[in-house]
């Protein structure tokens, strides 16, 4: 598949992911459609990201850290719903995780 198309799909998934995350965290737990959108966008981000990688570079660990950040963002609504962390802190941590993932994806430091 074309790399530019994969990058557009990946970024569209990221935008949708954070939009749905905001809807879930700020509107409460009664938004089933936002939760479904969160899961679908997580899947889109994962599939498009691995498709852009092709074969993961096993000698590098930046993509594994991005996968860990992806897992955290995926678990974030559950952390807020079960009151493990307060909602504003979860939102702030998710934004920091997204910024860190973008930095890792752009610079590929290690």
Q: Give me the residue spans of the domains in the chain.
A: 3-107
**Which pLDDT belongs to residue 31?**
81
**Which pLDDT belongs to residue 85?**
94
Read off the pLDDT band of 29 (50, 70, 90).
low
Read off the pLDDT band of 100 (50, 70, 90).
very high
Q: What is the pLDDT of residues 33-89, one digit of tens each?
A: 999 999 999 999 999 999 998 887 777 888 899 999 999 999 999 999 899 999 999
Indicate the DSSP class of residue 60: -
* C-alpha angle 38-97-71 in degrees, rounded to nearest 5: 50
| pTM to 2 decimal places | 0.89
């Amino acid at each position: 598949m074309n790399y530019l198309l994969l990058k557009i799909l990946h970024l569209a998934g990221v935008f949708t992911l954070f939009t749905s995350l905001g809807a879930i965290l700020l509107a409460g737990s009664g938004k089933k459609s936002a939760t479904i959108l969160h899961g679908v966008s997580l899947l889109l981000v994962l599939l498009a990201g691995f498709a852009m990688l092709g074969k993961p570079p096993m000698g590098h660990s930046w993509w594994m850290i991005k996968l860990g950040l992806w897992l955290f963002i995926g678990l974030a609504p559950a952390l807020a719903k079960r009151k493990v962390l307060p909602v504003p802190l979860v939102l702030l941590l998710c934004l920091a995780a997204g910024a860190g993932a973008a930095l890792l994806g752009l610079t590929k430091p290690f």
